[in-house]
Structure 1
Amino acid sequence: MKKLIYTALLLLAATSCNKWFEVEPKGGGTSGSKVFDNEASFRDYMNSIYAGLRTDDLYGSNLTLGGVEFLSQTFRPYAGAEGWTKMDFSDPAAREIAAKAYTKLYAAIYQCNDILELFAAKGDVLFVAGSREMMVAEAEALRAFLHFELLRLYSPAYAVDNTVSNILWIDGTKSAGVQMTTAQLTDKVISELAAAATQLSRYDPIVTGVSYDDTTLIGTEPASRVWKLNYYACRAAEARALMSKNSPESYGEAYKLLDKIITEGGYGFVRTVSGTDYSFSAEYIFALPSSDKGFCALSEELFDPAKKGVTLSAQLDVNDLNADDRRRNWFDSDNTMRTKFAPTSKLDKWNTVPGIPVIKIGEVYLMAAEAAAKSNQLATGILRFNDFAEARNSESLKLPETATAAQLETAVDLQYRYEFMGEGVRFHYCKRLNQTVTAYDGSQIAEVGKKSLPIVK
């Protein structure tokens, strides 16, 4: 059944998600499996994995607004961040970011493996029918998703060199890992995500509409599945991996998945800022609950003239957006995007900080437009892009039916500059396509597809 459009932003119960341990990638901790004797303990553990992903070293800053977003040249960097922003990954600050992200992404993978082993070992624990199956599939999907994140950050783009063997596939707590090439690991990620999605299609409340339990922990009822790697997020992640292969066949397979999300997911765009926050959380397919201050505090730290004083790059111009485009609200008089992650929500009955967007419906539409065009379905790609432009109240951006593939690519590229400001998405797009990027100071950064964070031992 179609997923309902949820406009209520649900909160993660931080008291339950932060009480578990932190571990290193290859051990160094124990799950204390003797306490896993009920379903709530498994849900607690699952929540703790996501809580780890929202830290500043990962999606709470360095992989999004406070780090990777600088690589897409959205901002003029503050003093000391120039080397990182221009993709000099030998810079000490870059090496520190790289080391922490690498360790913590593998730590999260370890936790996924740990909970999967606990599910296998604790077969006698009673679960609400379907809940165990959902969480097992979700943990498997999240493990694959995190491996692909490592691949996107620490290896050259697939289209540039798919023979590099930088990232280990690890699927056990005692495993030393399997060294794979980019090509092999990408195929592994795709197959794992596809298998997990098949299971999630049967058991995920976001698909079935049936809640497992609405009285305890987050992530077991349809509306709260946005905070977990749900069925539709799994399909979008699979499409990302397929598109990285840069072949007409893989683009065609990706389009099928993206079309499924668009036609069956029930997602919609924010057409007015009334009743929502400025980060448009109603458009999230997969997000991480922010900490108590989270992106709000980070945004203030970055954009307050009395603090970091970061401003938007000259490449971004509010006049590129239609007068009625809701994204214009992100720009302020100080030439920042401070309002996007404003300190208070505009949601009725809530006073919350914005979540951390990981996958949004806008990316699905833009990927679908690109994937269709690159799999010999140009007319469909134009249609998907025009649907996106209309949803953004920017009908003047719509392309004519006679538009060329190059014109569509230019239009999509422009939207990547605006749609994901502060989210770290555009860098991965530029890297996948091996673009030459104009830096914040007007210089050219060539061969972006070859850029990869150092694996610091």
Structure 2
Amino acid sequence: MAINNKYFKPLIVPAALVMMGWLSGCKKFLDVPPKDKVSQTTLLSTEQGFKDALTGVYLTMDKNSTNGLGNGLYTNDLTMGMVSTLGFEYDNANNTGILGESLFSNAVYYYYTQTRVNTEIAAIWGGLYNNIANLNNLLSQIEEKKDIFTGDSYNRVKGEAIALRALFHFDLARLFGQPPVTGMNEKAIPYITQYKVNPTQFATLQEALGGCINDLNTAKDLLAQTDTSAVLKATEDPFTSYTQNHLNYWAVQALLARVYLYKGDLDNAEKYARSVIGANKFPLITSNVAAAGNVVRDRTFSQELLFALYSGNIKSYNLNLFNLSSGAGTPLQLTTRRNTIYVAGSGSAADYRYTSWFDNSLAGLLVPSKFFQDANLPYLLQNIMPLIRVSEMYYIAAECANRKNDLTTSVVYLNQVRQARGLNALNASGINTADSVSNEIMREYQKEFIQEGQTFYYYKRLNKDLRQATGTTAPDVTGAYVLPVPDKEKEYNNP
């Protein structure tokens, strides 16, 4: 694929960010919406300009390309919206009354050629590659201007930019590439590391994952040279505030664990998962911070989030999809399978996720409520979209140990999350085979990542039978794991 004008837009940055010093760090660095377009020559001439350019990329993670219909990229399509629908996380997505349009009712059946779904797929492709283009533009200029940076800002900006480039390519590979157990050597996506006009040939899935790993290792080494002494909240410098809203040093290691596991490299996946767990910077909760009786409900278990996108649009997406008022339409729901996922077998109605991640909508219907924005929600907990959770590191460590026939260690990691969710520890005598442990890991993904999109990628990584794993009612699941490359891309750059 080439980086051409159809996927490149001028970097849009919040010019007002440079005015934010007077806020004394009380606002997040993504909290001010874009006010103006700044020319790239002017923008990438100062340290603050590079920071603003990177901030612009974080902001566009909440936006889709112009050929989409307004759904947020990482705040809707790749999380609570389309990708969660592909994972059959809502058992009524086939209802055409949801948002009054046909995206979900067709996506839930994997009708990728249907016009509405196909349009959104093209928007995802274009949105991710647009971000990659902007990152490559930033990276093409940062080295020669290294002297303008102070403190650890150079390493921070460059490290985060390279890490984001890896994240975007990885999610493209997970969506448009073949399942890794069968298609590692099949063409997947272009892996683009230069800001140029000429086409970039499609890489195999193996090559694309290698590119992600190379970028993430480079980013890790750069970010290791920044201040990693603490996970920051508000600081005097808006750019360094709220570590969890940056693709930070620990999140990069977590992403390495995720990519290595997708590649099938158990040793490295386990190494980085354990490293993140051992850092203890993002501890598991010890009580139900999301309980309905709490004065403040921390529905996302925020202390556990390694990387979370901040977006002022979370409330509107949540209202449109889940918390509709009476007469406003049909919300997405998980009702018939909720007990099967959370309570049956080794589950329990005492699971914090079961009791606290489902509430009545404004119309009185039981709906997933992880992203409800309560009226008294403190600023710190508002508008958060989890992208990497520390619980995933426990699941990765558990899966790696299990696949190495170390069932005891695997169950230890699983039980740490279970007990942090109000569940009893698993009885080792009841899960004494690798298959039984694997089934418990899958159930944890289904419970933990509702509305976050990660469950679909879990199924795809292991090439699970979607009928058995999800109970999907789709008449045909052939090809469900591979989104089609947009037609315009094929015309311009043949895979």
> 5+ unaligned residues in a row in structure 1: which ranges?
1-8, 22-29
Q: Decide whether aligned partners of structure 1 residues 434 and 10 sit closer, same or farther in structure 2, where only a CA change above 3 A counts.
A: farther
Say which of 121, 129, 154 aligns to 2:144: 121
1:378 lines up with 2:399 in the alignment? no
**What is aligned with 2:485?**
454
Deviations 1:58-96 (A, max 9, x none): 112111112110111111113133221122211212211
Say which of 249, 262, 272 aligns to 2:288: 272
Q: Distance in 1 between matches of 2:462 and 2:122?
A: 25
Q: Distance in 2 between matches of 1:377 and 1:434?
A: 23
1:209 deviation in Å? 3.2
1:402 deviation in Å? 6.3
**What is aligned with 1:322?**
348
Q: Decide whether aligned partners of structure 1 residues 372 and 195 sit closer, same or farther in structure 2, where only a CA change above 3 A counts.
A: farther
Q: Is the CA contact (8 Å cut-off) linking 1:83 and 1:91 kept in structure 2?
A: yes
1:38 lines up with 2:46 in the alignment? yes
**What is aligned with 2:28?**
12
Q: Distance in 2 between matches of 1:434 and 1:164?
A: 15
1:337 lines up with 2:360 in the alignment? no
Q: Is the CA contact (8 Å cut-off) linking 1:74 and 1:316 kept in structure 2?
A: no
**What is aligned with 1:225?**
243
Aligned to 2:451, what secondary structure does the other structure show? coil
Q: Is the CA contact (8 Å cut-off) linking 2:224 and 2:249 kept in structure 1?
A: yes
Deviations 1:319-338 (A, max 9, x none): 34434422121123556434
1:451 deviation in Å? 2.7
Amino acid at match of 2:343: N
1:354 deviation in Å? 3.1
Deviations 1:263-300 (A, max 9, x none): 11422223222455212222211011012xx2322222
**What is aligned with 1:308?**
330
Q: Decide whether aligned partners of structure 1 residues 136 and 401 sit closer, same or farther in structure 2, where only a CA change above 3 A counts.
A: farther
**What is aligned with 2:117?**
94
The count of corresponding residues between Structure 1 and Structure 2 is 429
Q: Distance in 2 between matches of 1:251 and 1:283?
A: 23
Q: Is the CA contact (8 Å cut-off) linking 2:79 and 2:453 kept in structure 1?
A: yes
Amino acid at match of 1:341: F
Amino acid at match of 1:282: Q
Q: Is the CA contact (8 Å cut-off) linking 2:109 and 2:473 kept in structure 1?
A: no
Say which of 316, 322, 332 aligns to 1:297: 316
1:129 deviation in Å? 1.7
1:346 deviation in Å? 5.6
Q: Is the CA contact (8 Å cut-off) linking 1:163 and 1:181 kept in structure 2?
A: yes
Q: Distance in 2 between matches of 1:331 and 1:16?
A: 31
> What does 1:235-274 correspond to in 2, within 5 Å?
235-246=253-264, 250-270=265-285, 271-273=287-289, 274=294
Q: How large is the Cα RMSD of the aligned pairs?
A: 2.7
> 5+ unaligned residues in a row in structure 2: which ranges?
1-24, 64-70, 97-101, 489-495
Q: Distance in 2 between matches of 1:444 and 1:233?
A: 38
Q: Is the CA contact (8 Å cut-off) linking 1:345 and 1:352 kept in structure 2?
A: no
1:149 lines up with 2:171 in the alignment? yes
Q: Decide whether aligned partners of structure 1 residues 149 and 59 sit closer, same or farther in structure 2, where only a CA change above 3 A counts.
A: same
Say which of 43, 48, 55 aligns to 1:47: 55
1:372 deviation in Å? 1.9
> What does 1:380-419 correspond to in 2, within 5 Å?
380-397=409-426, 399-400=428-429, 403-419=432-448
Q: Distance in 2 between matches of 1:238 and 1:252?
A: 12
The two structures have a TM-score, normalised by structure 1, of 0.86
Deviations 1:157-181 (A, max 9, x none): 1112122223111112215324311
The two structures have a TM-score, normalised by structure 2, of 0.80
Percent of pairs identical after alignment? 24
Q: Is the CA contact (8 Å cut-off) linking 1:128 and 1:212 kept in structure 2?
A: no
1:453 deviation in Å? 3.8
Amino acid at match of 2:185: T
**What is aligned with 2:491?**
none
Aligned to 2:247, what secondary structure does the other structure show? coil
1:167 lines up with 2:189 in the alignment? yes
Q: Is the CA contact (8 Å cut-off) linking 1:435 and 1:446 kept in structure 2?
A: no
